[in-house]
Structure 1
Amino acid sequence: MLMVMNRITMRHLARWTALQPYRHRTRYTYDEYKETADWLLANTRSRPRVGIICGSGLGGLADLLTDKTSFPYEKIPHFPQSTVSGHAGRLVFGELSGKQCVCMQGRFHFYEGYPINKVTFPIRVLHLMGVEALIVTNAAGGLNEQFKVGDIMFIKDHINMPGFAGQSPLCGSNEDRFGVRFPCMSDAYDKTFRRLALESALELGYKDFVREGVYCMLAGPTYETIAESRMLKLLGADAVGMSTVPEVVLARHCGMRVFGTSLITNKVVMDYSSQEKANHEEVLQTSKDRAEALQGLVTNLVGRMD
């Protein structure tokens, strides 16, 4: 009996050992991040200091860049590929308001089946390329009853629901060359950038549809239930979406300054008698309708950044 148990144990041990090379294939080494950054630096003259991540339907921000060089994600070493409608899947380098910028025309999401380290892979690459400030945009559902469809919300804080469940890009051994083991998140969204963005909004005449609030991330891809929406509102969330937070966490770990904005593309359903239903087509249409204003806001903000 003991010999049988020993054979079973040895088989399990052998299988466990054989699987070890695959368990961490979703994690990247410092050298892999650097290989991607070096490849990009070798293939463009741009030396960006500002990074911009475009949310659903907001990829037109990249079209504002001048003297552009673009790379499809599938051509970039180690890069994942975006599979969501409204995300073109290109990394675009160029100049905006006198600043060297790089724009992610499409991001990656947890719900696409990517592990959290793949979702956030580009952030450390941008850091190694010299990016110091990150602008993140997203399309989100409005939980705050004062918000209207088409409002632009400056993110002042976030609620990281996947993080509560242990889904963090910082899980595992810490890479000290990027940042400290326990990074602070109470200052995740830069107050100076928010002030500059408000100045930009006032200058452009956007005061009536600019808000400030707390963004909550869910993993998706389902839209939230009525009970979930009510809970999130009680927690203090003003808007809810399926992205952004993991990227912000990793950017702050690298020491980047962050400005975040959510375009309110739909009102979240919180009444059981309502016949309204959230859908991706509405998200893309609202993004299209408000694209010009958001592009103008980001352009003005980048010009004000030191």
Structure 2
Amino acid sequence: MIDIDRHRHEVETAVAFLRERISAPPEVLIQLGTGLGELVRAMEVECTLAYEAIPHFPRSTVTSHAGNLVIGRLAGKRAAILQGRFHCYEGYSAREVAFPIRVLALLGAKTAIITNASGGLNPAFQPGTIMVLNDHLNLLGDNPLRGPNVDAWGVRFPDLSTPYAPELRDLALSLAERLHRAEVTSGTYVCIPGPSLETPAETRFLRLIGADAVGMSSVPEILVALHAGLRVLGLSVVANVNDPDHFQPILLDDIIAAARRAEPRLQQLIIHILAELTP
């Protein structure tokens, strides 16, 4: 049984810790995924805190995730950047994975931009495609909202008929057109547990059920953001595309390298989104 009183105490302790160390709450939280940690270079940084310095934050064990919370201003907006994330395959529950999102929502964030690197399932995609999420499939077998609900944080049964804010999706796609970014498109993301990568049969199955890209993250964080009432924009960098009939080995180092090659384009898109973001 989930000890909801303990969880609530840990969240509130982390919120109080951060509130004492920042000058104003963030308007936007941005979570950066595998190979996508360099956005902070464009930021006017107020403070940087390692995850291990924040009470009750999980510890990131993936080498491509820096593990820092960076707070400051980006494109004129107060922002909190999560430089790296946690995954269920590291041994965390979905609730633990989404812990930082809950903390930043209670700290005052109203908009969440969640990014990740994924594998392409849609044969029309190319490596380096940036997919604006319009829907998702949760195949993790866990949900961060499982267990007793804290009514002050959100409703027991949150509506997910429109999980990704239409105005943010439209803004991202229109900006991509104005920036002449033909590689930006939209699609459905599927989250699997990992850490093993997909077999050819699994790839066929995921295509069959309507997924355009597959990854091992983001959905727990998105669910908590939605539960907390935040507007959510999901952006996925498609690092590779595999044909299940001519399957090629998938190596994590290749995924990270591909994500880093696409990172400058993703950064540019996020900065332009923030510059035009309205409350």
> What range describes the TM-score normalised by the shorter chain of this pair?
over 0.9
In structure 2, the residue corresponding to 1:43 is in which secondary structure?
coil
Question: Residues 118-197 of structure 1 correspond to what in structure 2 (within 5 A)?
Answer: 118-162=96-140, 165=141, 167-197=142-172
Q: Hey, which of these two has a bigger chunk of helix by percent? A: 1
State yes or no: 1:217 paired with 2:191.
yes
Aligned residue runs from structure 1 range 1-306, under 5 A: 24=2, 28-162=6-140, 165=141, 167-206=142-181, 208-271=182-245, 273-274=246-247, 276-306=248-278
Letter in 1 for 2:7: T
- Report if aligned partners of 1:46, 1:94 keep a CA contact under 8 Å in 2: no
User: Would you say the 8 A contact 2:173–2:185 is kept in 1?
Assistant: no
Task: Give, as a single letter, the amino acid of the residue that structure 2 aligns with 1:180.
Answer: V
TM-score (norm 2): 0.96
> Which range moved further: 143-152 or 278-287?
278-287
Q: Distance in 1 between matches of 2:104 and 2:6?
A: 15
What amino acid is the match of 2:154? G
1:31 Cα deviation from its structure 2 partner: 2.8
Aligned-residue offset at 1:67 = 3.2
**CA, structure 1 residues 27+121, in 2 after alignment: closer, same or farther (shift >3 Å)?**
farther
- Matched residue of 2:20: which SS? helix
Report the 3-state secondary structure (helix = DSSP H, G, I; strand = E; otherwise coil) of the residue aligned with 1:213: strand
> Taking structure 1 as the reference length, what is the TM-score of the superposition?
0.88
Q: Give 1:32 shift.
A: 2.0
Change (3 A) 1:305 1:159: same
Aligned to 1:7: none
- The percentage of counterpart residues that share the same residue type is 41
> Residue type matched to 2:235 in 1?
T
Aligned AA for 1:190? A
Provide the rounded CA distance (Å) in 2 between the counterparts of 1:27 and 1:144.
43
The answer on whether the counterparts of 2:2 and 2:148 sit within 8 Å (CA) in structure 1 is: no
Q: CA RMSD in A?
A: 1.4
List runs of 5+ in structure 1 lacking aligned partners.
1-22
Structure 1 pair 279/231, CA: closer, same or farther in 2 (3 Å)?
same
Deviation, structure 1 residue 30: 2.3
Letter in 2 for 1:220: G
Alpha-carbon distance change, 142 to 103 in structure 1, aligned in 2, over 3 angstroms:
same
Does the CA-based 8 Å contact 2:74-2:274 persist in structure 1? Answer: yes
Given residue 77 of structure 2, which amino acid in structure 1 is its aligned partner?
Answer: K
Q: Report the CA distance between 1:45 and its aligned residue.
A: 1.4
Q: 1:147 to 1:301 in 2, by over 3 A?
A: same
